[in-house]
Amino acid sequence: MKIKNILILLLLLCFTFSLAAQDRQRRGRFDIDAFIQKKSEYLKKELNLTDAEAKAFFPLEAEFSKKKFEVNRDARRETRELKKKQNKTDADYKRIVQLDLQSEQKESELQIEYFRKFAAVLPAEKLEKYRAADIKFKEDALKRHREKHHPGEKFD
């Protein structure tokens, strides 16, 4: 009987540690889906979208956001590793610049492609408002992130 109780206790401990590890892993990663959901709510209000416009626009906008995130992910990862490297060479610095420029170029190409798609479902005025609202949302999200993770620090 004691062995059975010990095994049950060990199983419960393993399960608890597994859940805790999964939670820590989830908290450390950027949740793109939650970000897109918050952004959609913000944009619907800021752009004063009708239900029909929202229904047509948000799947495209979510697709656009995910593609931008993916385009930049590899460049961010490699750039982060290069920046951590001690005694960087001239080639390392050139690679960082090259990665940044390539990701900006790919993002610009995506932006052109998706703004054409957006123009098919939104009037020009709302499309222009989208550009400004998108920037504002990102700035606010960055500000909230900094306040949460770096309280009391000043950022200019």
In whole angstroms, what is the distance from residue 111 CA to residue 123 CA? 17
What pLDDT, in 10s, does the model give residues 6-15?
Answer: 545 444 444 4
What pLDDT, in 10s, does the model give residues 82-106?
Answer: 888 888 889 988 988 898 899 999 9
pTM for this predicted structure = 0.68
